[in-house]
Amino acid sequence: MADMPLDMPQEGESETPKSETPTKPDHAAAATRPRTSSRVRSVLVGIGVVLTCITLLSSIMAIWVEQTLLNTDRWVQLVTPLSRDPQLANTLSVYVADQVVTALGVQQRAEQALPPRLEFLAGPLTQRVQDFTQTQVANLLQNQKLQNAWVQVNRTVHTQVVRLLRGETTNVTIVNGAVVVNLLPIIKEALTNLQARLPGLIPQAVAALPQQLSGTIQQQRAQLSQAIGQQLPPDFGQITLFQSDYVTTAQRAVAVLDALQIALPLLTLALLALTLWFSRRRRRTALELGIGIVVVFLAARLLIGFVQNQVVAAITNPAGRELVGDMLTSVVGGLEAIAVWLIVLGALLAVAMFLAGRPQWFVGLWHWLQGLWVKMRPQTGT
């Protein structure tokens, strides 16, 4: 009998197929799923931390701009003390003295009064008159009437600029395609006060100066020109801040701020709550928030300085550059102070959350301090 193949079923054995070896549960795949979910959760929490810090900065910037830069009463409150600042008084007095000498035609009058052989003295005489006028104007800036003129100039200009930025009007702050500051009221007050001190310098026609200039810049210039009997240059008494090309960009920015000044703080609170709720390690998330606040507001301080320098550099008039630079330094100081406080608070939050994790070195230091205190107690009698 021939040998049967090995794979043939033996007699009495059923021809049932071989059952496959049962597979063990894939523990590796099961462990991977929670790990992947945890990684996704961590990424989402990290995104939440970044967005919370950015929206916090945006909220503070929007509120500060609305309550300071776009609030006329607050602006006037901040810049009013600047009229007593020596640096600003010097800038204003130099500009006003130059405008007064120009308005009165001092050099032309000196050239006409001097003999032909002495006409070369007209320049030095004009410079002496300008220096004297500058000193008088600097002193006059402490006068309450001139202080009131400074406040009124700032209030008028700020109100008009804010209305312009919000698209409510295209008023007198736009002159020949430029946004300007009108200093004619201050120049008029300076002329009025100088009349009593230098009656020979100021023509008698100055006595007809109006109590208060009114109307547009062009109308005020015409009133002053008629009062002193001199034709004044088209840019007399005005400082150009920036060309109106920048106005469109500024208007868009203000429109965005107006729309987001309430939404941004609410969004910040919502992001903060959602990030902390979604996080499985809230202490670490709070630590990251503290670090993020420090980083974001440090960058904001650098950005504030950069923007401030760019705004000042865009002003073509040297006197205007100094004037606006001093004003921005005073006004932006409040925002920089807020940034510093938030940097400190963010750093304190980060340190507190780090120490709350009880790192080994901190626990050791704490026990050492406790032991030192116990040893010192008998010596101190406590």
Q: Does one domain contain both 98 and 211? A: yes
Q: Does one domain contain both 168 and 313? A: no
Q: Count how many domains the chain has.
A: 2
Q: Does one domain contain both 222 and 257? A: no
Domain final residue, candidates 243, 260, 293: 243
**Full DSSP string of 216-236:** SHHHHHHHHHHHHT-PPPTTT
Round to whole Å and give the CA distance between 33 and 40: 11
CB atoms within 10 A of CB 210: 13
3-state secondary structure of 281: coil
Q: Does one domain contain both 98 and 209? A: yes
Q: Does one domain contain both 238 and 256? A: no
Check residue 329 and report its DSSP letter: H
Round to whole Å and give the CA distance between 103 and 303: 41
Q: Which pair of tokens denotes residue 256? A: 């965005």
What's the pTM?
Answer: 0.63
Residue 134 has pLDDT above 70, yes or no: yes
Residue 218 lies in a domain: yes
Q: Does one domain contain both 110 and 183? A: yes
327 lies in which domain range? 50-66+252-357
Residue 6 has pLDDT above 50, yes or no: no
For residues 270 and 59, is the Cβ–Cβ distance under 8 A?
no
Q: What is the pLDDT of residues 36-83, one digit of tens each?
A: 777 888 888 889 999 999 999 999 988 888 888 888 888 888 877 776
Q: Does one domain contain both 237 and 307? A: no
Q: Does one domain contain both 158 and 263? A: no
Q: Does one domain contain both 230 and 256? A: no
Residue 268 lies in a domain: yes
- Between 244 and 319, residue with greater pLDDT: 319
Residue 4 lies in a domain: no
Domain final residue, candidates 178, 213, 243: 243
Average pLDDT, whole number, for the chain?
A: 75
Q: Look at residue 55 in the predicted model and tell me its pLDDT.
A: 93
Closest CA to 96 of 191, 178, 180, 181: 191
Q: Does one domain contain both 270 and 338? A: yes
Average pLDDT over residues 196-211: 63
